[in-house]
Structure 1
Amino acid sequence: MTKKIDDSKINAALRAAKDFIYDDLTVGIGTGSTVNYFIQALSELVEKDELDILCVPSSIESKIELAKAGLSTGSLIEESELDIYIDGADIITKNFVLIKGGGGALTMEKIMARASEEFIVIADYTKYPRDLNSFPVPIEIIPQTVNTIIKPIFDLGGEFRLRYGTGKIGPVISDNGNIIGDVHFNKSFDPSEMEKALKLIPGVVENGIFPKDADRIIIGYPDSSELVFNKSEKE
């Protein structure tokens, strides 16, 4: 099963590199295992075709992977507009709503998705289609508000849980120095309204609901890939 999923991630990543990368682009790079396969594919393409590509990573993890791959990197401080942004997703609904942030980089991921001319999502077949409440909504919060946000989230129908990882004691901390948690919903909700409602809670920096952000979505399968969504064809 793991090999099938890995092959699917690779096929989605290869499709994105082959179809949407060309010379003289500033490319935003998301975070996660599927994105790491894209970085590998991008490195090979840049070397083969001698492309001039500048990569802007969404996380320290992706910056490290880009350095390993020998790709040129910049930051949003210098590059406030991106030609294209490539990232994965934790789930994708049948209406192409995304839940992201399983890797803890949701704030920069949303900033970069909305600073780019085009946002392309790459994911394996287990991520699509999924019910909206089948994956908790990641949130980034200011550490001092870890208790004050519990009731407002409960009033919205959610249950807040701190996220814990390995390698350290205590909750997961984002690259921005904030706490990462997850909101569990037992029933479906309006993604656009919930995204706004969560952001209005004092102390919540960002949440992982991406209601209408994707311009294209590529789903990988063990032996193929498919462009399942193209926003330009819907308009």
Structure 2
Amino acid sequence: MDQIDELSRKLEKEKLLASQKVARNFIYDEFIVGIGTGSTVRYFIQELGIIVEEEDMEIMTIPSSYETQLELVKANLPIGTLVEYPELEVYVDGTDIITKDFVLIKGGGGAFTREKILASASKEFIVIADSSKYPKELTSHPVPVEIIKEAISYVIQPIFNLGGELKLRYGSGKVGPVISDNGNIIGDIYFSNQYNPFEIEKELNNIPGIVENGLFPNGGHKIVIGRDETTDVIVRELDFTTKQ
């Protein structure tokens, strides 16, 4: 138990280090900043709130979920919408895994549809992670998927035809599957064999009834990984004209 607690504290510290790195080095005055969802992002929001106050910066934040919106309110950060600000300087988010080829699987918080929209609307996508997230095998984590309620039975067979098994995601404290901020059902697709993430991302979204999935095959422009007492910054040249 002590070893588990020690590892947990180490990973939380790495999330904080990576978040501090991004907030203090890659966010500038007058930036419009898209912000993802999850435990790592909470550290970033807290740090961003401190920096904005210390430096008297003027920024605008665009949240990917209601959960993130509440965290931004706590940090006294200004909040806008993608309707008002359709082009963002940067989008910052965590991830569930990063493969050796820098493919991301995201969506543990169920907000991946809006996350993917914000990533595509941004000039730069920065990923924050602890050392446990990289590198991982593609099949080590299921692919989250958002499904329209009426299609929940229909999509099972097409997903199976692609080599995946759909399991609905259930949360604590309520009866029934997890529902996204968009009012759709969240599920997870398990693949036992290796697959091409670019092809599977497109094939899943071609199934009627599937709104979006949590594969981000292009990865991010910058990947900032907390590692022990420091951070690794991986900078990649990406062309997002082929959108996420």
CA contact (8 A) 1:114 1:213 kept: no
Following the alignment from structure 2 to structure 1, what is the Cα–Cα distance between the partners of residues 28 and 166?
Answer: 42
| Residue 146 of structure 2: aligned partner | 140
Q: Distance in 2 between matches of 1:114 and 1:123?
A: 20
Q: C-alpha distance in 2, partners of 1:187/1:214? A: 25
Q: Please tell me whether residue 128 in structure 1 is matched to residue 130 in structure 2.
A: no
Equivalent-residue separation in structure 2 for 1:11 and 1:231 (angstroms): 24
Instruction: List structure 1 runs of 4+ shifted beyond 3 angstroms.
Output: none
- Counterpart of 1:84 (choices 65, 84, 90) is 90
Deviates more, 1:220-229 or 1:53-62: 220-229
Question: Match for residue 213 of structure 2?
Answer: 207
User: Partners of 2:131 and 2:19 in 1: how far apart?
Assistant: 13
Task: Determine which of 71, 94, 97 is the counterpart of 2:103.
Answer: 97
Q: Could you tell me which amino acid in structure 2 is paired with residue 166 of structure 1?
A: S
1:48 aligns with 2:54: yes
Listed one character per residue, the Cα deviations across residues 153-177 of structure 1 (whole Å, up to 9, x for unaligned) are 0000000000000121000000000
Query: What corresponds to 2:38 in structure 1?
Result: 32
Structure 1 contact 12–219 (Cα < 8 Å) conserved: yes
Q: Secondary structure at the match of 1:192?
A: helix
Count of matched residue pairs: 232
Q: Distance in 2 between matches of 1:222 and 1:38?
A: 18
The alignment's TM-score, normalised by the length of structure 1, stands at 0.97
The CA RMSD measured in Å over matched residues stands at 0.8
C-alpha separation between the residues in 2 aligned to 1:187 and 1:14?
A: 37
Give the Cα–Cα distance (whole angstroms) in 2 for the partners of residues 23 and 36 of structure 1.
21
Unaligned runs of 5+ in 1: none
1:117 aligns to what SS in structure 2?
A: strand
Q: Deviations over 1:157-204 (max 9, x none)?
A: 000000000121000000000000000000110000000000000100
- The CA distance in 2 between the partners of 1:131 and 1:229, in whole Å, is 21
Deviation at 1:40, TM superposition (A): 0.6
Secondary structure of the structure 2 residue equivalent to 1:103: coil
Matched, 1:176 2:182: yes
Shift of 1:2: 1.1
User: SS of the counterpart of 2:223?
Assistant: strand
After TM superposition, the score normalised by the length of structure 2 is 0.94
Question: 1: distance between equivalents of 2:89 and 2:14?
Answer: 25
Work out the CA distance in 2 between the residues paired with 1:222 and 1:23. 30
1:167 correspondence with 2:155:
no
Deviation at residue 14 of structure 1 after TM alignment: 0.5
Q: Point out where structure 2 has 5 or more consecutive residues left out of the alignment.
A: 1-6, 239-244
For 2:165 and 2:31, how far apart are their aligned partners in 1? 41
Secondary structure of 2:123's aligned partner:
coil
For residue 17 of structure 1, the aligned residue among 9, 12, 23 is 23
Query: What displacement does 1:26 show?
Result: 0.3
Distance 2:219 2:204 in 1: 17
**In the alignment, what sits opposite 2:14?**
8
Distance 2:159 2:55 in 1: 50
State the Cα deviation string for residues 27-62 of structure 1 (Å, max 9, x = none): 000000110000011000000000001000000000
